[in-house]
Structure 1
Amino acid sequence: MSTSERLIESTRELLWERGYVGTSPKAIQQRAGAGQGSMYHHFTGKPDLALTAIRVTAQEMRDRAEEELSAPGTAFERVSAYLRRGRDVLRGCPIGRLTQDPDVVADPALRRPVDETFAWLRDRLADVLAEGRDRGELDAALDPVATASAVVAVLQGGYVLARAAGSAEPFEQAVDGVLGLLAARVVPTPSP
């Protein structure tokens, strides 16, 4: 791993653990095993490095979601696979946690990849749900956009509930709940 890659990876982890304010240049350098000169050789400063780290995390989140959402299966099966995949629930969502960071939210450049990632996720889920509706897998009355927004909200809220309880159980219950609601909209396959 190159020095710039180590700096980015260290920043990603620190942002997830501590947030923007708690991620000092010194902590980044220590975790990356890089000196101050190396950091400022590759990046103009903490905001530039943080933006790069957020973009990398956002792209990783999108790529991972796309794997499940573009896999074979019905719309319900793909959304279910996305929601049930393994996650470090008690650490929270590495992108979602940034929405609680006042410095990230106050900076349009830092907030943009966070907002774009959630917009992408809502759109991608809506596409999958619309596809399922159009194929007759899901009830024709299903609103894919509203349902996709609800799925994302439940997922992010599940992280918050789990962190507050110190247990993954509230997250799992939230996922079970939204999938139960979505399952009620699955159109039964006719018997041969």
Structure 2
Amino acid sequence: MDTRERLIESTRELLWERGYVGTSPKAIQARSGAGQGSMYHHFHGKPDLALAAISRSAEELRDRAEAAFTSSGTVSERVAAYLRREREALKGCPVGRLTQDPDVMADPDLRAPIEETFAWLTGRLAGLLAEGRTSGELHAGLDPAATATALVAVLQGGYVLARAAGSAEVYAQAVDGALGLLACHARQEPSRPA
């Protein structure tokens, strides 16, 4: 991994662990093993490096979600694959946690990749749910946009509840509950005569 990549990855980790204020240039340099000159050679300063790190975290979230959304199976199975994929529930979402950081939210440049990522995620889930409704897998009364928003809220809220309880099991329960509610909208195939 070259110096620029080490700087970005170290900043991603520190932002996830400490937030923007706690991610000092000295901490970034110590974690990455890069000197001050290298840091300022590749980036204009901490905000520029933070933007690269946040954008990378957002891109990784989208890539992982898209892998689940384009896998084989029904719409419900693909949504379940996304919701149940392995996560570090007690650390929280590396993108979602930044919404709690007032310094990140106050900076339009740093906020933009976060806002865009959640808009993309909600839109992508809504598209999948609409596909399931059109194919007859899900009831016609299902509201794809509202349901997608609820699913994203369950994920982010699941992280918060798991951190508060100190238990990843709470996160798993939130996901199970969301999938149970989604299953209520699945159309049952009519029974066939014997």
TM-score by length of structure 2 reads 0.98
Could you list the per-position Cα deviations for residues 118-151 of structure 1 after superposition, in whole angstroms to 9, with x for gaps in the alignment? Answer: 0000000000000000000000000000000000
User: Which contiguous aligned blocks of 4+ residues in structure 1 show a shift greater than 3 angstroms?
Assistant: none
Identity of aligned residues (%): 73
| Equivalence for 1:43 | 43
Distance 2:173 2:28 in 1: 36
Give, in angstroms, the shift of residue 191 of structure 1: 4.1
Residue 128 of structure 2 aligns with an amino acid whose one-letter code is V
Within-5 A mapping of 1:1-192: 1-192=1-192
Give me the whole-angstrom Cα distance separating, in 2, the residues matched to 1:7 and 1:191. 59
**Alignment partners' CA distance in 1, 2:71 and 2:7:** 33
Does the residue aligned with 2:44 lie in a helix, a strand or coil? Answer: coil
Instruction: Deviation per CA, 1:8-27: give whole Å up to 9, x if none.
Output: 00000000000000000000
Amino acid at match of 2:11: T
**CA distance in 2: counterparts of 1:131 and 1:57, whole angstroms:** 28
2: CA distance, partners of 1:8 / 1:175: 31
The alpha carbon displacement at 1:66 in A equals: 0.2
Shift of 1:190: 3.3
- Other structure's SS at 1:68 match: helix
Residue deviations 1:11-44 (CA, integer Å, cap 9, x gap) = 0000000000000000000110000000000000
Q: Structure 2: which 5+ residue stretches go unaligned?
A: none
C-alpha displacement of 1:170:
1.4
Q: Letter of the aligned partner of 1:138 in structure 2?
A: L
How much does 1:6 deviate?
Answer: 0.3
What RMSD over aligned residues (CA atoms) do the two structures have, in Å? 0.7
Deviation of the 1:189 alpha carbon: 2.4
Q: Name the amino acid aligned to 1:92.
A: G
- Structure 1: gaps spanning 5 or more residues: none
